[in-house]
Structures are given as structure tokens and as C-alpha cells.
Amino acid sequence: MKVLFLTDSLGLPRIFPEDEILYLEETYSQIVKNNLKNFDFFQITLTGELCDKIINQARGYLVNWRPDFIIVGIGINDARPPSLLIKLQENKFFKYILKIKIIKKIIEKLQKNFKKINLSTTSLNEFEKRANQLKNSFKDSKIIWLEIVCDNKYENTRPGVIYWKSKFNEKLKSIFGNDFLQLSGLFTNKKVFNSDNLHYNKFGHKIVSEEILKKINSK
């Protein structure tokens, strides 16, 4: 059996901050790998990238490998709106100014009220197109797409992300049906994200890996 993982940074270990370090063997892909000894694995992970680039890597190089399972953990970068706050933090001057809490609060309020910024980074139609391209390119593979999730507090950094991830998940559910792996219900009242409200902590990876293994072992 062959398993292909397609992930963004949510599938990677973390080396910072110090109290949130996550080791490679604690990531969900490695946990799955360690529990399926007789399987072959390959992983494509591109940090900060959108679905088109990651999916095109798989379609461009691995179609003939014919994986039995494709585990997809991407989409949050597409669903979240651009961030005025993060853009300003890339500037040395504003990065210093934004250390002043009141200034940071003002910027957060401004971007919440800035309607244009509430558009997803990738359009919903384009995202649907890319998901279907993956499905059509790997017709013999079982594609398990992980629900796009983040902590509700991530809305403060990316206003509109809660709305758009819901819309994107609805589209994924319609495409992949029972192979759309729902996670939010499993995360309720549990601390599964790091302090950035986006990346999984050790416990989050553990839950995701357990659900992936259930899906694979049920086939």
C-alpha cells in the first residue's frame, strides 16, 4: 500500500516558541507512518503555499506512482483573507510600532471593518476546480481531505477566516463525501492549537493521526 501526504505548514514540526516545540515524530504524518509498517510513504509539504502549487506538484510528478491513499491537509492558506496586520509587520518600522498594544488593537479593528479584506485568498470556484483536478488525476486513489480548521481566535488575525473556511469545507464535503475527514467536532473544548491559533500542538496532531488511521484501516 502507498500513502501520499499533501500538507502545508500544519503538517510540519515546530521549533518555536520554546514551550510549543513539536518534534517530527509527533506530527500526524509520522504517527500514521509509524503505525503502518508495511506501507510506502511520500510527502509533499510546502509552507505558506496555496492549493494550486501543492496539488500541481502531486499531479506533475506522482500520478504514475499510483498511491492507494492521498491524505490532504491543505486549504487554510486559501480560505483565509489577506491580513493588513501581518503585511504591516513585514515592514521594519511598523513591526516596531505594532509592539505598542493600543496601536495593534487599532489596526485589528480597522481590518475587521475593511470589507475588501474579507475576501478569501483563493476564490471558492478556483479552490473547487483544484480539488476536482486532484480527484480526476488520481482516479484510483482514495483521497482523504482533512477539514480546514483553526481556533476561533484566529479571526482576530484574519477577519473573515471563520466564514470562509466554513464555505470551503462545504465544498470539500460535496466533492469527497465520506472521505472528507471532519475534525472540528473532535476538537470542541480541547486545546489542540498552538498560541498562534492555527498550527496543531502535540495533542492536535495525535487526534488527527488517530482519525486518519481509522479511515485507512476501514478501507
Mean pLDDT within 140-163: 94
CB 34 within 8 A of CB 105: no
Is the pLDDT at 130 greater than 60? The verdict is: yes
Mean pLDDT of the chain: 90
pLDDT of residue 107: 63
Mean pLDDT within 179-195: 97
Percent of the chain with pLDDT over 70: 85
Lowest mean pLDDT among 2-11, 67-76, 90-99: 90-99
Extract the C-alpha cell encoding 68: 492507494
Is the pLDDT at 86 greater than 60? The verdict is: no
Q: Report residue 157's pLDDT band, with 50, 70 and 90 as the boundaries.
A: confident
Strand order in the sheet with 142-146: 40-45, 2-7, 69-73, 142-146, 180-181
Percent of the chain with pLDDT over 90: 78
pLDDT of residue 102: 73
How many whole angstroms separate alpha carbon 108 and alpha carbon 153? Answer: 12
pLDDT of residue 104: 62
40-80 per-position pLDDT tens digit: 999 999 999 999 999 999 999 999 999 999 999 999 999 99
Peptide bond into 67 cis (omega under 30): no
Q: Write down how long the chain is.
A: 219
CB 150 within 8 A of CB 163: no
State the amino acid at position 78 in one-letter form. D
pLDDT of residue 159: 86
Among 191, 201, 53, 211, CA closest to 145: 211
Lowest mean pLDDT among 149-158, 196-205, 206-215: 149-158
Give the residue carrying C-alpha cell 515524530: 25
How many whole angstroms separate alpha carbon 112 and alpha carbon 110? Answer: 5
